[in-house]
Amino acid sequence: MAGIYLHIPFCKQACHYCDFHFSTSQRGREDLLDAMSMELKRRASEMQGHVVKTIYFGGGTPSLAFI
Ligand code: SF4
């Protein structure tokens, strides 16, 4: 059993209590998504024989990546 975590480090605002890695700038968003897509494709062979049970989108605010 395997799981995949995708960290989307963009937020509209900075919350003072937050310990996650994030940026309130959207600069580089497309490059990051392209890099994540590339890494998923490159590492797909590592998952052969495994069942991916969960794909977790964390952040940041993952929905900002798809606006
Ligand atoms: S990840 Fe959540 S809690 Fe942290 S700065 Fe972004 S919106 Fe705030």
Is the CB of 18 within 6 Å of ligand 1? yes
Average confidence score pLDDT of the chain: 92
Instruction: Report the DSSP pairing between strands 2-8 and 52-59.
Output: parallel
Is the CB of 51 within 6 Å of ligand 1? no
- Give 60's DSSP letter: S
What is the per-residue pLDDT for 1?
A: 81
Binned at pLDDT 50, 70 and 90, residue 65 comes out as: confident
Q: Is the peptide bond before 60 cis (omega within 30 degrees of 0)?
A: yes
Q: Which residues are CB-neighbours of 62 under 8 A, at least 6 positions away?
A: 6, 8
Q: In the chain, pLDDT over 70 holds for what percent of residues?
A: 100
Counting from 1 in the atom list of ligand 1, the atom nearest the Cα of 59 is 1
What is the per-residue pLDDT for 53?
A: 95
Give the closest residue (by CA) to ligand 1 atom 7. 11
Counting from 1 in the atom list of ligand 1, the atom nearest the Cα of 60 is 1
The residue ranges of every structural domain in the chain are 2-66
Q: Which two tokens stand for residue 40?
A: 């998923």
Q: Which two tokens stand for residue 8?
A: 């989307």
pLDDT tens digits, 15-36 = 999 999 999 999 999 999 999 9
